[in-house]
Structure 1
């Protein structure tokens, strides 16, 4: 959770830094500290209750910014919806299915990887699931999950469509930027000032629902699952609240450290890096969940951490030396499934008779 949330946090902070704040002489570390302080301020007191309504407002701002930028680019390019799709198709931007089994982008690999990434990054993730789990009735919670699925389909389709438009727009305006810098370069340097302002608002709005939810979820998980705060019956409410706030600050510090690490890595496409890292970090979670659901065995608890560390390490070496091991066959994001399977096998080996 920490890796995924801080990677997205770094992405937004870095875009703001490179696009605006470098020119003002503001150091990267100062930008990061200010944004983290803003997140802490409104999650420090209220926890989950605070983020529900603010997340709704921020997500609405993000989607509104997305739609406004899309409409502006269509008008500027003089294209209708159908014409833009035709132009994208001519450039190869609408290609969905790759039928070469050896490639990472082979469509069956992509479908399997996408399904299991969704299971792990959404279905087994406290941050993503806590709002559904807080619904009073099971039927309403199920309705919420199905509705969310359809909404995400629409939102992601809109993002992909705008991605194609950005490349068409960038080609017309002779924009040299690529990867994560393409959108900010176009929005801030090749669009009217009011679009630039909308972009910045939408960018910050995209950041906060991810970071604040993760920070709150990690604080809750550490307090309850790791430090067993609920079992400390001799603590009064004041002491528990003080402990929770201290853990919250500790989580914020870990966010700062991770953002600095990503700054050192400085990858040009953070989405690719986030999904790659998910293959390593979420694999053990997938294996543990599957073992708990599909078997009735107990395991030797003290050996579980070793299994959960060994599986990603083995997966890393499989990924690193896959050309030697498999020749032309390339493993992509489905590495997550392999990682989960290795964890499952490890848990099977340490099961109690």
Structure 2
């Protein structure tokens, strides 16, 4: 497909988002609108829009690509998704009531009330680090696709592609913030879901299959195995490890993450926020089934048409992330290619725009104490928020450039392992706060505990096969990380005179 066609659709897409930003921020673009959308969001818009935020370009191209990985991944990822669903239910029934009861803008304020200022700053810092790295990674993944299939043809360097992408995101988020994000994410989720469904339709048409025949073909293809019960010790994909990892990664990366919780806290009340989470969970599970089905169909199509997994230009090794765009752009007609581009763009930018808003919110509330300002919407305070928003855009740009310099294809499959290190201490902090209500900690020692725990986990992960009889960690490492943090906090704690009420 001609790069000019893809570029024209990309430009039109962003002009539409900028237009929405103008309309949503025309009446009000103050800090209350930016941080909480005036706590007046419709729960069904939040639920649907969160799909785009939760999935990202990693899900869009990596999950289908991994189905036919030479290592034999099949539908193993769905075990993790089932764990995610359980985690979302726990968030809706345990964490959301707490956040609404305390009327939080930043969810890390809970840690300040419960454990102290040093603990609070540590929790907020963990989020800033984790979300910056995670969001930069997700954007990096889509930028390399844009670079390969569009901007290389025009001689645009990689750094300029990254800068253009972040500049476009900044342009439609810096004024309206969360109020704009809820609308744009809803629209982007429409593109994402439509793209997945239409991709299935077009690939089925190319294979001469109707939808029922396609699912029967997938069932009989050898790609559709879901549950794996290989040796628990040596296999990363044992169902128990995947379920545990899915549950606790979700609690940490969603329930203890300002990004996704900020949207939930913009609903009118706890009842609407819970309806949002339950609806989101059901749609999330179904849409991931579709993504895995797309992966199976891509490999069936590739086998039938003699298409090899594209090779990474630097490493010279097959890279499954490129299979979906390769088939969409070079082996199907123009319409499927455009639909793929819209879906991929929607998935990735829905994640990144939301992250920039959440990072700005967390820094302004947790480190600049905006919540304590007499006039939150004073012009000087709004200007400070604009400056912070720009700074985080620049920081994300630098992180993506670093990723590209390393150019390690394996980083794609390691995103949840990275989360196990960075989000694990948050599990420990919140776990201690919720379950040890009659104990307080030595607040000044908490940052050291939260640094020590990931270091111990890194050592265990690298040496578990030797130290633990061949045991291999996967995403359940986050549970160990949280447990070590919890034990560390217990060691530096002492009984308090009054039981904490939250």
Question: Given the alignment, which residue of 462, 465, 488 partners 1:323?
Answer: 465
Partner of 2:494: 352
State the alpha-carbon separation in 2 of the partners of residues 64 and 206 from structure 1: 11
State the alpha-carbon separation in 1 of the partners of residues 426 and 149 from structure 2: 37
Question: Given the alignment, which residue of 4, 7, 31 partners 2:161?
Answer: 31
Tell me the number of residue pairs that the alignment of Structure 1 and Structure 2 aligns. Answer: 353
Is the contact between residue 428 and residue 484 of structure 2 (CA under 8 Å) also seen in structure 1? yes
* Aligned positions of 1:26-65 closer than 5 A: 26-65=156-195
Partner of 1:124: 256
Partner of 1:314: 456
CA-to-partner distance for each residue in 1:285-319, whole Å, 9 max, x for gaps? 11111111111222112111111111111111111
Is the contact between residue 322 and residue 331 of structure 1 (CA under 8 Å) also seen in structure 2? yes
Question: Given the alignment, which residue of 263, 272, 276 partners 2:417?
Answer: 276
CA-to-partner distance for each residue in 1:12-70, whole Å, 9 max, x for gaps? 11111122222321111000000100011111111111111111111101111111111
- Residue 345 to residue 75, structure 1, CA distance change in 2 (3 Å): same
Output the TM-score relative to the length of structure 2. 0.68
What displacement does 1:234 show?
A: 8.2
Partner of 1:110: 242
What displacement does 1:75 show?
A: 1.2
Partner of 1:66: 196
Question: Given the alignment, which residue of 127, 139, 142 partners 1:12?
Answer: 142
1:147 aligns with 2:279: yes
Output the TM-score relative to the length of structure 1. 0.95
Question: Given the alignment, which residue of 447, 467, 476 partners 1:334?
Answer: 476
Is the contact between residue 285 and residue 340 of structure 1 (CA under 8 Å) also seen in structure 2? yes
- Residue 236 to residue 59, structure 1, CA distance change in 2 (3 Å): closer
Is the contact between residue 99 and residue 107 of structure 1 (CA under 8 Å) also seen in structure 2? yes
State the alpha-carbon separation in 2 of the partners of residues 54 and 231 from structure 1: 30
Question: Given the alignment, which residue of 406, 412, 422 partners 1:265?
Answer: 406
Is the contact between residue 110 and residue 333 of structure 1 (CA under 8 Å) also seen in structure 2? yes
Partner of 2:345: 204
Partner of 1:253: 394
Q: Which moved more, 1:45-54 or 1:126-135?
A: 126-135
- Residue 267 to residue 172, structure 1, CA distance change in 2 (3 Å): farther
What displacement does 1:82 show?
A: 4.2
Any gaps of 5 or more consecutive residues in structure 1? none
CA-to-partner distance for each residue in 1:236-288, whole Å, 9 max, x for gaps? 71111111111111111111111112212324355522111111111011111
* Aligned positions of 1:152-301 closer than 5 A: 152-176=284-308, 177=310, 178-233=319-374, 237-268=378-409, 271-296=412-437, 297-301=439-443
Is the contact between residue 218 and residue 293 of structure 2 (CA under 8 Å) also seen in structure 1? no
What displacement does 1:233 show?
A: 3.6
Q: Which moved more, 1:29-38 or 1:12-21?
A: 12-21
Q: Which moved more, 1:84-93 or 1:149-158?
A: 84-93
State the alpha-carbon separation in 2 of the partners of residues 117 and 55 from structure 1: 23
CA-to-partner distance for each residue in 1:315-351, whole Å, 9 max, x for gaps? 1111111221123321111111111111111111111
RMSD (Å), alpha carbons: 1.7
Is the contact between residue 323 and residue 330 of structure 1 (CA under 8 Å) also seen in structure 2? yes
State the alpha-carbon separation in 1 of the partners of residues 252 and 191 from structure 2: 27
- Residue 235 to residue 333, structure 1, CA distance change in 2 (3 Å): closer
What SS does the corresponding residue of 1:136 show, helix, strand or coil? coil
CA-to-partner distance for each residue in 1:189-226, whole Å, 9 max, x for gaps? 11112221221121111111100111000101000111
Is the contact between residue 10 and residue 259 of structure 1 (CA under 8 Å) also seen in structure 2? yes
